[in-house]
Structure 1
């Protein structure tokens, strides 16, 4: 039961990491806020690229988890990356 809980924690951590990464990118590298930036990027058709850039933060999370021997949670982060990849391909 603990493995499933750790995997779910990893997936949630990966999704939250991607959202925070998108937020950081839109706040610091564009002239728009988060909500305005997301709507503008969606209109321009480049929201999937912003999501991909935001997911770079998951690399840092992944390596920190590996250093702390949290392998199951790190697997959840990788699974979240696969889900984000599928999401960006569909969009």
Structure 2
């Protein structure tokens, strides 16, 4: 979603506002992921974190993958599917 914005130009005001949104949203996403995560989610999150640590210099792709994995881990849905589209997850345990 943000690729178009970064391709156009990095704007200090935009980056400040994006930081504010992240500070508001990310703690709740992390909380939900911790409560709802499966063993699969945890393994994928560990892999994504290792990729972030291994990425030298440009960590954008690794950061995006990490956050995608984090949000998938918190995505236990009301219909019983998890963030991967599978049935089960924390609610089934």
- Relative to the length of structure 1, the TM-score reads 0.29
Higher relative contact order (CA 8 A, sep 6+): 1
Larger radius of gyration: 2
Q: Which has the higher helix share?
A: 1
